[in-house]
Structure 1
Amino acid sequence: MSSAVRPGHHVTTPEQARQAAVVDAEGHVYARDAQQTYIGQYPGVSEEETLGYFSRKFDELANRVLLLKARVRAGADSADSLQQSRAALQTELEAQAWVGDVQMLHTVLGEIEGQVEALRDQERRASEEATAEHLARREEIVAEAESIAAQDPASIHWKNSQTRLEELFDQWKAEQKRPPRLSKAQEDPYWKRFRAARTTFDKGRREFFGRRDEQHAQVRRTKEELITRAEQLQHSTDFGPTTKAYHRLMDEWKAAGRGSRRSDDAQWTRFRAAQDVFFAARDAANAETDRQYGQNLEAKEAVLAQLEALMPFEDPDAVRERYHALLEQWDAAGRVPRGDVRRMEDALARVQDAFRQAEQQRWQRSDPETQARQDSVLAQIDASVHELEEELRRAQHAGDERARQQAEEALEARRAWREIVARSS
């Protein structure tokens, strides 16, 4: 027996038995109450033995009552079970007559009834709290499931969300097994919401992957066509236009989007292989061409050195014939390797720009109208210089230091300007 259940022990003494009942000559036993209730008969033995027999039966019942009281106090069983035990003892007590303190047992059983009801109230409160906890947990599970189902199909992580929904379903089943069990009326509203969330999610998932499979199929068809076109061009020796065609194919490939990883990787390998065949042949051809153009580069570098030696073109007319002869040699030298084209063209352009600028300056100096304009400007400057010289003399004669200083500064500026104009003419 559990240490928490410690029943009392009841023993009816012979004196208590004689006070509770009387025995006649034939062994019949009657209670000492107002009705002289008949208890039973135990013939052929002494009064003491008769009373002892019926009092021991009472003590056995009393001890079972005390055991029940201890179990109630310890909460050793449910209130319903304890109430059933109490009712059975109450019926047993009322069904027979006993030798002993019957009223005491009625009192104890009454106390037990009150204690059982208190225990029932406690169990009811605990059940209500547990039920509320169950419902709250159901709400958490359902709310999260609904949140998962409400995600944007374009951004949802389907695998992780599917795994989480399965975990929530396992939690739901675990909650169902945990007492107290909810009634159908309590559980059904939550289950319907949970089931609806799973249905919404599964429908969205099927639709998403259906659309994606359709898109992947379209991407696969588009890229298959691009591969065919790439393979048709791979042996072309028309390198310039074909290179541009491959660049356009690459733009179309990127615009087609991504397909399924397995098919996309395999198609890319084929597409890239076709390009590699072409570009390997083109690079080999360019390398051979560059090797052949190496001598042309040496010739053009020599011509360029001679052109740069003519600079600066102070007198274009004096070097014009030599300049044009070197340009003809440049053209006759032919093409240079691709990697040197820009460098050589830029160097020649600098020489040609310098020559054109020199010619322009020479023409401006020899143009009559330009010369006339320059002479007119020089005449105006000379007149201004003469006036300023007169102002300077007057200021010096008058001793006006401020006027003298202003005249000197203005005169110096006009003379510097005249020098610049005269040099440019």
Structure 2
Amino acid sequence: MSSEWGRIDDAGTVFVKTADGEREVGSWQAGDPEAGLAYYIRRYEDLQTEVALLTKRLQSGAGDAKATKSQAMTLHASLPTVAAVGNLAALDTQLVALITAADAKMGEQAEAREAAKAGAIAKKEALAAEAEAIAETSTQWKAAGDRLRTIVDEWKLIKGIDRKTDDTLWKRFAAARDAFGKRRGSHFANLDTERETAKSIKERLVAEAEALSVSDDWRETADALKDLMGQWKSAPRANRSTEDALWKRFRAAQDAFFERRSGVFAERDAEQVQNLKEKDAIIAEAVALDVSDPRHAQVALRDLQERLEAIGHVPRDAMPRVEARMRAAEQRVREALDAEWKRGATESNPFLAQLRERLAEAEAKLARAQASGDAGRIAKAEADVASRKALLPE
């Protein structure tokens, strides 16, 4: 019994047809020769199916090219001795094509792996460079520390780098991370020192403020407290809890002083307002003095002046007005005294009395001349009045 690609003889020996002639592939002693030949044909078909599956998986990308080539080469090497009946030459051609395709795919995959490797190396180099930049310049200690921890997680997800390169890059990253840790540790050590220094400075400022809070030297103490506030602002900060506690004490000392000063000033202001009312009343008396008797007015003024001096301070903005009104009243009495003195001096001098009488006569003649309307008489009378006025003292 025979088929297109093989036969089975009467003894049960099975042959396959090849380009080099027939080749014995096995024997069938189990019964029907047709079944025996069909068995070896099915084995060929299984080989066909296996080759077709390998080809399809390679083309789809689901199959590994290297493994596919290995399987294809194994199958190809088995063809000269394979126990199967079918078109072995066609199968050989398919396997050669599959091996060639696997080689090409392996080349593509190698290029892809190299590209992926280069990309992975670039990513880790970028992460290492970022870590080095953080180590060198960053002062955002918490954010930078968090970022370095995130870099570790990102680093673990990057694959496809050879061990030597990966180890070299990891050493760069680890060195940068260690450098950042040392710089951060040094920073916080210095910060602790600065905070202790700040604590000492501000404890001293608090002690000074508390000592000044009981002072009654209002102006100098207020200036001193303002100076302490300036020192406080320019001093470094202690840690938050210490800073807050010291600030509360410092502020409380200032508040105690200024509240006490405000109370004293309020009491003093009320007293000065009352003083102003009293002084205004006394000045009103001085302004109303009767200066027709200058000597009596002078005595009364002296009494008012003594009463005025006995009253304490008035508000600063009222002082110019108070002083001006009192000076005016005093000037009025002085002018009355001066006028009385001049009158007395004139009346006790006979010569001056005579000059005044003649001046009065000259002024009477001038009046009569003016009444007559005679210009000559008027001019002569005016000249006579002027000459007699010139003889009198100021």
Question: TM-score, normalized by length of structure 2?
Answer: 0.69
For the pair 1:334 / 2:317, whether they are aligned, the reply is no
Post-superposition offset of 1:307: 10
> In the alignment, which residue of structure 1 is the partner of 2:375?
none
> In the alignment, which residue of structure 2 is the partner of 1:141?
127
> In the alignment, which residue of structure 1 is the partner of 2:39?
53
Alignment partner for residue 318 of structure 2, among 344, 348, 354? Answer: 344
> In the alignment, which residue of structure 1 is the partner of 2:193?
214
> In the alignment, which residue of structure 2 is the partner of 1:90?
76
Distance 1:347 1:188, change over 3 A: farther
Give the partner amino acid of 2:318.
M
Correspondence 1:14-33 to 2 at 5 A: 15-17=3-5, 20-21=6-7, 23-32=8-17
Post-superposition offset of 1:35: 6.6
> In the alignment, which residue of structure 2 is the partner of 1:119?
105
Correspondence 1:17-416 to 2 at 5 A: 17=5, 20-21=6-7, 23-32=8-17, 34=20, 36-43=22-29, 45-151=31-137, 156-176=139-159, 181-301=160-280, 331-336=309-314, 340-341=315-316, 343-345=317-319, 347=321
Distance 1:257 1:64, change over 3 A: closer
Query: Is the 1:307–1:351 contact (alpha carbons within 8 Å) kept by the matching residues of 2?
Result: no
**1:352-386 deviation digits (Å, cap 9, x = unpaired):** 999xxxxxxxxxxxxxxxxxxxxxxxxxxxxxxxx
Post-superposition offset of 1:351: 8.9
Deviates more, 1:192-201 or 1:208-217: 192-201
Post-superposition offset of 1:107: 1.2
Deviates more, 1:321-330 or 1:60-69: 321-330
Inter-partner Cα distance in structure 1 for 2:51 and 2:25: 20
Distance 1:143 1:335, change over 3 A: same
> In the alignment, which residue of structure 2 is the partner of 1:394?
none
Q: Which structure's CA Rg is the greater one?
A: 2
Post-superposition offset of 1:134: 1.7
Inter-partner Cα distance in structure 2 for 1:222 and 1:107: 94
Distance 1:331 1:136, change over 3 A: farther
Question: TM-score, normalized by length of structure 1?
Answer: 0.64
Give the partner amino acid of 1:344.
A
**1:132-178 deviation digits (Å, cap 9, x = unpaired):** 222232233233323323326xxx332333333333332222324xx
Deviates more, 1:247-256 or 1:324-333: 324-333
Distance 1:308 1:165, change over 3 A: farther
> In the alignment, which residue of structure 2 is the partner of 1:385?
none
Distance 1:53 1:289, change over 3 A: closer
- SS of the equivalent of 2:29 reads coil
Give the partner amino acid of 2:39.
Y
Post-superposition offset of 1:255: 3.2
CA RMSD after TM alignment: 3.7
Query: Is the 2:65–2:106 contact (alpha carbons within 8 Å) kept by the matching residues of 1?
Result: yes
Inter-partner Cα distance in structure 2 for 1:304 and 1:119: 120
Distance 1:302 1:67, change over 3 A: same
Distance 1:303 1:82, change over 3 A: farther
Inter-partner Cα distance in structure 2 for 1:196 and 1:304: 91
Instruction: Number of aligned residue pairs: give it.
Output: 321
Give the partner amino acid of 2:3.
E
- SS of the equivalent of 1:150 reads helix
Q: Which runs of 5+ in 1 are unaligned?
A: 1-12, 310-320, 355-425
Give the partner amino acid of 2:247.
W
